[in-house]
Structure 1
Amino acid sequence: MTNQHSAASTSCGAGAAGLKERTDAVAATAALHAEAVDADARFPAEACDALRTNRLFGAAIPIELGGEGASVRMLADICYALGRACSSTAMIFAMHQTKVACLVRHGRGTPWLETLMRRIADEQLLLASSTTEGNGGGNVRASAAAIEREAGLIRLDRAATVISYGAQADGIVTVARRSAEAAPSDQVLCAFLKEDYTLEPLAGWETLGMRGTCSSGFRLLARGCEAQVLETRYADIHGRTMTPVSHILWSSAWAGIAARAIEKAQAFTRTAMRGAGGAAPPGAIHYARAVSNLKQARALIEQAIERFEAAADDPAMLASLDFQTAITMLKVDVSDLAVSAVMAALRTNGLAGYRQDGPFSIGRDLRDVLSAPLMIHNDRIVANLATSTLMAPVAATISA
C-alpha cells in the first residue's frame, strides 16, 4: 500500500488504466456520505453506485471474461483508500472481492460460473457473503444446512446469523454441507443470484460500528442448478483463497481506518501547537505510537501480499503450516494494531477526539475499528491455530 505500489497498480495492463483515479473518485463519494451512513445505519448506496460507475466491482474478473484482472495487491490499495473514507464501504468491497476471488480461482471451466463472472464485470453485480449460521456462530468450517438435490436441481434452506448487505446484494455466495448425509465439515461453496432465492429476516443490525454493512440475519431459501455448486472442496477454497484474500483485504480496510484517525490526530496536534506558540498538547506523545502501529500493520500486510503472490499458484505452499500460520495471524495482528492505533489517536486528541462532533472526533473511527478483532473472533482464530500447530516441531535455528 505504498505510493509505489499504488503507482504500479495503475500501470499493470491496459485494463487497469486510471485505477487510482477511479478509486479516488469513489473514496471522495464515500467520505461525503460516511457520517450519514453511520448515523442512520444505512447501506452506503452512493458509494456503491460510484463503485459501479467506476467499474470496480468487476476489477478482479479476468480480462478474458470482461474484467480488468486486478491483483490482490491492487484490491488491497482500494480497500485502504476506502477505509480512510468510509469503513462500511471498504468492508463491503473487501467481502465482495473475496467472493469474486473464490469464483475466479475455483470456478473456471464451469460455464454457469464463467457466465456469472462475465455478468459481474458487465453489470457490476455485488455479491454478498454468507458463511456463518445459527448453530455455528463464527465457526465457518462447519455447516448445519445442507444442499438438497432432486432431478438435477439443488435447494438450500439456511438460517444465517448474518448476511452482510444481503438485502442490497445482487447475489449471495454461501457455504453449506455437501449433502444431508455429509459431515458438518464436508462443505461446498455455492453461488446464487437474486432471482434464485428469498430472504426472510431473522435479526437486525444495531451495532456500535460498521453500521452501514447492514449485516442482518436472514433465512436463506435458495434454488438453482448443480453447476452453481463449486466443484472444489470448501476446505481447499477456504485455505487457498478465502482466508488469504479476506485477511489481506480486511486488514487493508482496517489499516485505512487507522490512517483516517491518525490524520485527524496529526491535524489536531498541528492546530494545537499553532495556538500554543509551538508547545505540543499533552496527548501528543501518543501520536508517535499511533503512527508506529499503522506502520507495523502496513508492513505485515505487505509481507502477506508478497507471500500470497509467491504461493498463489502452488497449492502445496498455500497449504503449508508456515503460510497458513502467517496468513491466519495477519488478521489477528493487524486488527489489534489497528485498534491500538485508533486508541492512540484518540488519546492524542483528548476531549476533542472524544467528542462526537467536530473535525477531530475519533468516535466513528473507534467504533468501526473495534469490529476488527471481533469479526470472526481473534480468540477463536488463535485457539484453532494453536491446535493445528501443537504437533509441529519448534524451529531449532533463526533461519529455519
Structure 2
Amino acid sequence: MLDERVEDARGIELSACGLHGAGTRPVVQRAEAAAAVAGEHAVAVDREGRFPAEALAALKAQRLLGMAVPRAFGGDGASLGEVADVCFRLGRRCSSTALIFAMHQIKLACVVRHAGGAPFHEGVLRSVAAHQWLLASSTTEGLSGGNVRSSAAAIEAAEDGTVSLDRDSTVISYGAQADAIVTTARRSAEAAGSDQVLVVLLREHYRLDPGQAWDTLGMRGTCSRGFKLHARAAAGQVLPVGYDVIHARTITPVAHVLWGAVWSGIAAAAVERAQAFLRAAARRAKGQMPPGAAHYTRAQSSLRGLRLMVRDGVERCEAAFADEAHFNGFEFAVAMNLLKVEASDTAVAAVTSALRACGLSGYRNDGDSSIGRQLRDVLSAPLMINNDRILSSLASPALMAPVPAGLAD
C-alpha cells in the first residue's frame, strides 16, 4: 500500500498538503534555494562522508524530487533540460547532492516512460509528486564486473502472485536513505543474464544487509556502499517493458545527460574560484595578469565545451522522446555513449586547469581558493561506468560507420 505520508531525510514527518506552495514558484528559484542549503553543508558532508540530509530536506521542501512527474500525476511535468539545469545548479554547490538528485531522476524517468499504465507504477508517480519520495538504484552486482546489462540474481515467481529476489548489490547509492529502490534482475532462473527486468520496490518490500563500506576519494556523501538486497513484492511491481529497451531508450541517454550536467556544475564551481583568485591577484599586481592566467583560459574553454556537449545531449534526447524513430539509428546510441566519455574527460580537464590557475592556493584545503573537493569529486566521472568499457563496446560498430567525406556529412 502506498503511504500517504513520508519522513524526510532528518526524520521529520512531512504532509504533502503543506508543501504545495513551493511548487508554484519558478523552478530556477526553487533550485537555487535548495542549492544554497546544499552549499552550506557541502564541506561537512564531504569531510564526514555522510548523507546530505539537509540538502535532501530542502529538495523535498522545494518539491524538486517530483518535478519530472507528469502533471496528470501531480508533478510539474518538467523537461529533461529543466532537470539538467537543476543538476548543474546543485553541482556548483555540493557534488554529492547533485549526483543523488540526478540518480533519483534517472530512475524516476524509467517509471515515467515505461509504466505502461500499470496501476502500481502510476501510484508510485503520484507518491513521488505528493510526498517527494527518493528513488535509489541497484544495477551492479558482485559477479557482473560493473556490467549493468547482465544480472546474476533472478526474479522467482510464487503461486500467490508475488515475486522474490535476493541480490548481492556491489553498490546502492544512498540505499539506507531511499524510500524505494529500482533494481535490475534476470527475468527468471532459466533466463540468460542479459534477459533482464526492472523492479520497483518500496521500503516495506525489501531488507538491506550492509556489505562493503564507502570510504572514497570523492563523492563521499552519496553513501554508495554495498548491500545484500532481499525482496518480496507483487508481480505487478515489475515494469512491463524489458530492461533492454529501458536501458537503451531511457537509462543511457538520461543518465549521460544528467551526469554531464552534474559534472558541468562541478567544473563551473572550480572555474568560478579560479576566476576570483586571478581577479584578486591582478588587482594586487596593478592589472598584470598572474602566471596562471593561461590555465584559466583553458579551464574556461573546457567548461564552455562541456556545457555545449550537455546541451546537445538534451536536444538529442528530447527529439528522440518526441519521435522514437531516433532510437533506431546507430548515430543516437553512439552520440549518447560518447557524451558520457567526452563530458567526464572534459570536466576533469576543466577542474585540473582551474587548479593550476590557482597554483598552491588551489591545492590547499584551508582557503577560499581551494579546488581540492571539486577535483576529488570530478575524478569519479570517468570511473562511473568506466570510460574504457564504453569505448570498447563502441569499437566494433564504429568500424562499420563511414568516415565523413566533408564538414556537412
Q: Tell me the TM-score normalized by structure 1.
A: 0.95
Q: After TM superposition, give the deviation of residue 285 of structure 1 in Å.
A: 1.1
Verify: 1:29 aligned to 2:46, yes or no. no
Distance of 1:64 and 1:309 partners within structure 2: 20
Render the CA deviation track for 1:151-190: whole Å, top value 9, x for unaligned: 2110110101100000110010011111110000001111
Q: 1:335 to 1:298 in 2, by over 3 A?
A: same
1:173 match: secondary structure: strand
* Number of residues of Structure 1 aligned to a counterpart in Structure 2: 387
2:343 equivalent in structure 1:
334
Amino acid at match of 1:235: D
Amino acid at match of 2:33: A
1:83 equivalent in structure 2:
91
CA contact (8 A) 2:116 2:240 kept: no
2:234 equivalent in structure 1:
225
Q: Tell me the TM-score normalized by structure 2.
A: 0.93
Q: After TM superposition, give the deviation of residue 396 of structure 1 in Å.
A: 4.5
Distance of 1:390 and 1:220 partners within structure 2: 40
Render the CA deviation track for 1:347-394: whole Å, top value 9, x for unaligned: 000000000111000000000000000011000011011133333444
CA contact (8 A) 2:23 2:63 kept: no
2:7 equivalent in structure 1:
none
1:243 match: secondary structure: helix
Verify: 1:19 aligned to 2:66, yes or no. no
Q: After TM superposition, give the deviation of residue 279 of structure 1 in Å.
A: 1.7
Q: After TM superposition, give the deviation of residue 304 of structure 1 in Å.
A: 1.1
2:172 match: secondary structure: coil
Q: After TM superposition, give the deviation of residue 395 of structure 1 in Å.
A: 4.0
Greater shift after overlay, 386-395 or 313-322?
A: 386-395
Distance of 1:322 and 1:29 partners within structure 2: 40
2:12 equivalent in structure 1:
none
Amino acid at match of 1:253: V
CA RMSD in angstroms, aligned pairs only: 1.3
Amino acid at match of 1:359: D
1:38 equivalent in structure 2:
46
Distance of 2:280 and 2:246 partners within structure 1: 49
Verify: 1:107 aligned to 2:107, yes or no. no
2:77 equivalent in structure 1:
69
Render the CA deviation track for 1:263-315: whole Å, top value 9, x for unaligned: 00000001111112222221111001000000001111111111111111333
2:96 match: secondary structure: helix
CA contact (8 A) 1:15 1:69 kept: no
Amino acid at match of 2:76: E
Amino acid at match of 1:381: I
5+ residue gaps, structure 1, are 1-13
Verify: 1:188 aligned to 2:201, yes or no. no
1:136 equivalent in structure 2:
144
Q: After TM superposition, give the deviation of residue 238 of structure 1 in Å.
A: 0.6
1:58 match: secondary structure: coil
Q: After TM superposition, give the deviation of residue 15 of structure 1 in Å.
A: 6.4
CA contact (8 A) 1:80 1:252 kept: yes
Q: Counterparts in 2 of 1:146-295, with a 5 A limit?
A: 146-151=154-159, 152-295=161-304
Distance of 2:350 and 2:88 partners within structure 1: 15
CA contact (8 A) 1:137 1:161 kept: no
1:347 match: secondary structure: helix
Render the CA deviation track for 1:81-137: whole Å, top value 9, x for unaligned: 000010000000000000000000000300000001101111100000111110112
**Which of 348, 358, 378 does residue 369 from structure 1 map onto?**
378
Q: After TM superposition, give the deviation of residue 34 of structure 1 in Å.
A: 0.1
1:67 match: secondary structure: coil
Distance of 1:51 and 1:304 partners within structure 2: 25
Q: After TM superposition, give the deviation of residue 16 of structure 1 in Å.
A: 6.6
Distance of 1:398 and 1:259 partners within structure 2: 31
Distance of 1:315 and 1:245 partners within structure 2: 14
Amino acid at match of 2:272: E
CA contact (8 A) 1:16 1:68 kept: no
Distance of 1:211 and 1:112 partners within structure 2: 33
Verify: 1:399 aligned to 2:391, yes or no. no
